[in-house]
Chains A and B, each alone.
Chain A
Amino acid sequence: MDALWILASTGLWDAVLRIATPLIFGTLGALLCERAGVLNLGIEGIMTFGAMIGWLTVFSGGGLWTGLLVAALCGALFGLLHAALTVPLGLSQHVTGLGITLFAAALSYYIFRLVVPLEASPPTIEAFRPVEIPILAEIPFLGEVIANQTAPTYLALALVAVMGWVLFRTPLGLAIRMTGENPHSAEAQGVNPLVVRTACVMAGSALMGVGGAFLTMSAFNSFFPTMVQGRGWICIALVVFASWRPGWALFGAVLFATFDAYQLRLQSALENTVPYQLFLMAPYLAAIVALAFMARKARVPQALMRPYRRGER
């Protein structure tokens, strides 16, 4: 019975939102890249770097929002590197992306160690504080769930709507989607696919950087090199689960976060009766099952992972 009561606890849903936030940023970022036709497997490393540089900015005296901004800018720079190699040069997006992940993660650790010599416990920062929202806070259940949420979480939620609007309601979004579906057609209609792709990879990577920064600046308050823990890969899978639609990306991120938060609580509820590794595995298993069902009807951007070269058909 305890297992079900957990679902009704505000603590669970509080945790769900917190776990979902970096996933939302990351998934939106990967989604934007892929809508323009570029797979960005640099996400895992870019999130790690975002986590480190956001933390470092605040640790060395910068403001919290400055930290987020620096994380976004650094993400965009890694995006520029990825785009430079894969868009005009047309190199393999897989290899380049994985290379960027390795490079960015290693660089994060290197910079971190330059600043912080080996210590038992990593230094912490003063993280984002919960935002009080006047009227919503009065509502019984919801009020408690959102009582501990920080500003970046609301930013993530807002970005879902913005991304949906831009992609499906603006000329810019149409140009992006056309580039991801058929860059030759985009070019023939006066849209430059190389510019669109480069810009989308940079903007998407900036979101990945922010997603990583959330981990140090709102969730854990300190940096350790393995903290991203495959969240980037989860985002890549969530993009497929979401059929490249922002609304579904939000749903996917929340679903995964729910499994994750639930298994943590279930572990302590069913203490020692089941090996905890099974619980750790559960959200990933659920993700695979969900993906298997969703991916069947997903409409992949037709030019995803296909380099565009002018004049070549």
Chain B
Amino acid sequence: MAEPVLRLSGISKRFGPVIANEAISLELRRGELLALLGENGAGKTTLMSILFGHYTADAGHIEVEGRPLPPGRPRAAIDAGIGMVHQHFSLADNLTVLENVMTGSEPVWRLRSNRGPARRKLMAIAERFGLRVDPGRRVGDLSVGEQQRVEILKALYNDARILILDEPTAVLTGREAETLYATLRMMAQEGLSLIFISHKLREVMAAADRIVVLRGGRSVAERAPADTSRSDLAELMVGRRIARPQRAPATPGAPVVEARGVSARHAGGTDLHAIDFTLHAGETLGIVGVAGNGQTALARLANGLLAPYRGRLTILGRAVRRPDVGALVRAGVGRIPEDRTREGVIGEFALWENAVLERIDLARFSRRGIVNRAAARRFTQEIIDAFDVRGGGPDHRASLLSGGNMQKLILGRNMIEGPRLLIAAQPTRGLDEGAIAAIHTRLLEARAAGAAVLLISEDLDEVIGLADRIHAIAGGRMSPPVAAEAADARRLGLMMAGDWDEERAADAH
């Protein structure tokens, strides 16, 4: 067994009354790819932030290659050979790749930056690990996957021998994630030691050499992928057995949304080209696809933010000719937007304000331009009780909620009125297993209550588990539907690549 390059002993950290880490000990060996698995709030990010010197631990100490690491100083961590790739990249959009990588690497008072050697060193590292980038590009112009490459290169440029990645695949598409793990594996073979934080069981099982599970700020288990299973890990992570709910057969009613040859332009995104689909009441229609293939335009279309320039789109019996969000909301369209922190809630607003924002002009929430706060608060409390929103009352700021609870609030404000059409765009992206199960249960309830559900998702398990019929979307075109019974991950994967079998799919009708 290789010697440990990193040893954390008895790390504890609390924020006020909240225990983030409690006596966590951890060893990382040379050439190892270690997964730190845990739900949101389990203390993974805090632990790694302590290691990197963003926080100072209340107790415990850290040794790197046998030498103690001074706490609370990122530069000391860098000098000891630790590199960190943050979940929300810490890059400067307006600076170039090279500038981002070089910051802090030279003595500050030097009269001239040595760009030439820096560029050569960067290119050599990029070459060695297959992380191709153009050092002169402005970071803000790069794709998310490329930006992550820059983050990794930045760490390697600082001669990192230990690399920490915080939720590295949270923002990546399936294919980008696979490439990333292949790269990480190669780095481990080259003698680097890596820790990656994740809550995705599938990834952890596939990529890690060893898995450490954190729960409630404690280290609860250590497993080798060969000796464990996804359900075992899920139970360790959550502390109880959680199963995602599965749909039961249902009888669809009348069509709620009909699209016939609909084309739409989406500035800054993928356009839609002549798509056809029908969504019935009491049915869930799943749309699978790799991010950026027209899902955003589709969701905007269904939400009333976008209108088709060609073809016929009917929502709840009305032809959509120009964007009109208000009319659709009044007609009973519930919406779960793709990006909950940007479009779903306003972080600085209280929960009650967020709960009624979409329907503030209804007589029950306002009269003659004056908001009825009491009614709004009551409505919010109903949502909190019925949807198990934890982390704050009606008067707390929405930004204090975790992602899962934020999503429950959004779901609640749409569901409590009994929507006729529910548009769920990436409803469980970035959520932990417990929250996912809760959201899935609610989506199935909506369908059982007769709502038509449009489920747009990248998570194949989610779509197969919830949808009655499934379309794939690729390059702004939509496949014919397949029945959920006929769909499996392999077939959907092919369809997502734009490879659909017209005739076989037609059987599914």
**A interface with B by C-beta (< 8 Å):** 169-172, 174-175, 177-178, 181-182, 184-191, 299, 301-302, 310-311, 313
> Which B384-423 residues have a C-beta within 8 angstroms of A?
none
Does the CB pair B55–A189 fall under 8 Å?
Answer: no
- What's the A-B contact tally at a CB cutoff of 8 Å? 83
A196: nearest residue on chain B (CB-CB)?
Answer: B108
Which A residues are CB-close (under 8 A) to B88?
313
A and B contact pairs by CB, cutoff 8 A, 6 listed = A170-B112, A175-B108, A181-B94, A187-B54, A189-B158, A301-B94
- Residue of B78, B84, B86, B103 near A178 (CB, 8 A) is B103
- Once bound together, how far apart are the Cα atoms of A25 and B497, in whole Å? 59
> Which B86-117 residues have a C-beta within 8 angstroms of A?
86, 88, 90-95, 99-100, 102-113
Does the CB pair B113–A171 fall under 8 Å?
Answer: yes
Does the CB pair B74–A185 fall under 8 Å?
Answer: no
Does the CB pair B78–A174 fall under 8 Å?
Answer: no
- The answer to whether A174 and B113 touch (CB under 8 A), given A189-B103, A302-B93, is yes
Does the CB pair A185–B112 fall under 8 Å?
Answer: no
Number of interface residues of B (CB under 8 A): 32
- Once bound together, how far apart are the Cα atoms of A171 and B108, in whole Å? 5
- Residue of A184, A186, A313 near B104 (CB, 8 A) is A186
- The answer to whether A181 and B74 touch (CB under 8 A), given A169-B112, A172-B108, is no
Does the CB pair A182–B90 fall under 8 Å?
Answer: yes
New contact pairs (4) apart from A174-B103, A178-B95, A182-B90, CB-CB < 8 Å: A178-B103, A186-B103, A189-B74, A311-B49
> Which B131-183 residues have a C-beta within 8 angstroms of A?
154, 158
Does the CB pair B95–A191 fall under 8 Å?
Answer: no
Does the CB pair A185–B55 fall under 8 Å?
Answer: no
Does the CB pair A302–B112 fall under 8 Å?
Answer: no
- Once bound together, how far apart are the Cα atoms of A187 and B106, in whole Å? 15
Which B residues are CB-close (under 8 A) to A311?
49, 54-55
| B310: Cβ under 8 A from any A Cβ | no
| B196: Cβ under 8 A from any A Cβ | no
- Once bound together, how far apart are the Cα atoms of A169 and B116, in whole Å? 12
Does the CB pair B75–A185 fall under 8 Å?
Answer: no
* In the complex, per-residue mask of B49-63: 1 if CB is within 8 Å of any chain A CB, else 0: 100101100000000
- Once bound together, how far apart are the Cα atoms of A171 and B106, in whole Å? 6
- Once bound together, how far apart are the Cα atoms of A20 and B112, in whole Å? 29
- Once bound together, how far apart are the Cα atoms of A77 and B92, in whole Å? 30
- The answer to whether A189 and B94 touch (CB under 8 A), given A169-B113, A171-B110, A174-B113, is no
Which B residues are CB-close (under 8 A) to A175?
103-104, 108
Does the CB pair B104–A189 fall under 8 Å?
Answer: yes
Closest 8 CB pairs of A and B: A190-B75, A181-B92, A189-B104, A185-B90, A171-B106, A182-B92, A190-B104, A178-B103
- Once bound together, how far apart are the Cα atoms of A179 and B85, in whole Å? 18
A172: nearest residue on chain B (CB-CB)?
Answer: B108
A30 CB, nearest partner CB in chain B, Å? 18
A173: nearest residue on chain B (CB-CB)?
Answer: B113
- Residue of A169, A181, A190, A313 near B95 (CB, 8 A) is A181
- Once bound together, how far apart are the Cα atoms of A297 and B108, in whole Å? 30
B79: nearest residue on chain A (CB-CB)?
Answer: A190
- Once bound together, how far apart are the Cα atoms of A191 and B158, in whole Å? 14
Does the CB pair A191–B94 fall under 8 Å?
Answer: no
- Once bound together, how far apart are the Cα atoms of A237 and B375, in whole Å? 47
- The answer to whether A302 and B94 touch (CB under 8 A), given A174-B113, A313-B88, is yes
Which A residues are CB-close (under 8 A) to B90?
182, 184-185, 188
Which A residues are CB-close (under 8 A) to B106?
171
Does the CB pair A174–B102 fall under 8 Å?
Answer: yes
B87 CB, nearest partner CB in chain A, Å? 9
- Once bound together, how far apart are the Cα atoms of A4 and B344, in whole Å? 59
- The answer to whether A170 and B94 touch (CB under 8 A), given A178-B103, A190-B75, is no
Which B residues are CB-close (under 8 A) to A178?
92, 95, 99-100, 103-104
B399 CB, nearest partner CB in chain A, Å? 12
B217 CB, nearest partner CB in chain A, Å? 17
* In the complex, per-residue mask of B171-208: 1 if CB is within 8 Å of any chain A CB, else 0: 00000000000000000000000000000000000000
Which A residues are CB-close (under 8 A) to B109?
171-172
- Once bound together, how far apart are the Cα atoms of A232 and B445, in whole Å? 63
Q: Among the interface residues A171, A182, A299, A310, which one has the most CB atoms of the partner chain B within 10 A?
A: A171
- Once bound together, how far apart are the Cα atoms of A188 and B78, in whole Å? 9
Does the CB pair A302–B92 fall under 8 Å?
Answer: yes
- Once bound together, how far apart are the Cα atoms of A185 and B105, in whole Å? 13
A300: nearest residue on chain B (CB-CB)?
Answer: B94
Does the CB pair A187–B92 fall under 8 Å?
Answer: no
Which A residues are CB-close (under 8 A) to B105?
171, 189
- Once bound together, how far apart are the Cα atoms of A302 and B89, in whole Å? 14
Does the CB pair B95–A177 fall under 8 Å?
Answer: yes
- Residue of A191, A299, A310 near B103 (CB, 8 A) is A191
- Once bound together, how far apart are the Cα atoms of A302 and B102, in whole Å? 19
- Residue of B78, B110, B111 near A189 (CB, 8 A) is B78
- Once bound together, how far apart are the Cα atoms of A189 and B74, in whole Å? 7
Which A residues are CB-close (under 8 A) to B107?
171
B109: nearest residue on chain A (CB-CB)?
Answer: A172
B95 CB, nearest partner CB in chain A, Å? 6
Q: Among the interface residues B108, B110, B111, which one has the most CB atoms of the partner chain A within 10 A?
A: B108
Which A residues are CB-close (under 8 A) to B55?
311
- The answer to whether A170 and B111 touch (CB under 8 A), given A302-B94, A311-B49, is yes
- The answer to whether A299 and B94 touch (CB under 8 A), given A171-B107, A190-B78, is yes
A78 CB, nearest partner CB in chain B, Å? 25
Does the CB pair B113–A182 fall under 8 Å?
Answer: no
A168: nearest residue on chain B (CB-CB)?
Answer: B113
Does the CB pair A191–B104 fall under 8 Å?
Answer: yes
- Once bound together, how far apart are the Cα atoms of A175 and B103, in whole Å? 6
Which B residues are CB-close (under 8 A) to A182?
90-93
Does the CB pair B100–A185 fall under 8 Å?
Answer: yes
A34 CB, nearest partner CB in chain B, Å? 13
- Once bound together, how far apart are the Cα atoms of A169 and B113, in whole Å? 6
Which B residues are CB-close (under 8 A) to A301?
94
Which B residues are CB-close (under 8 A) to A189?
74-75, 78, 103-105, 154, 158
- Once bound together, how far apart are the Cα atoms of A86 and B92, in whole Å? 22
Which B residues are CB-close (under 8 A) to A177?
92, 95, 99
- The answer to whether A170 and B78 touch (CB under 8 A), given A191-B104, A302-B94, is no
A301 CB, nearest partner CB in chain B, Å? 7
A312 CB, nearest partner CB in chain B, Å? 10
A159 CB, nearest partner CB in chain B, Å? 16
A188 CB, nearest partner CB in chain B, Å? 5
Which B residues are CB-close (under 8 A) to A185?
90-92, 100, 103
A301: nearest residue on chain B (CB-CB)?
Answer: B94
Does the CB pair A188–B74 fall under 8 Å?
Answer: yes
- Once bound together, how far apart are the Cα atoms of A187 and B54, in whole Å? 9
Does the CB pair B84–A188 fall under 8 Å?
Answer: yes
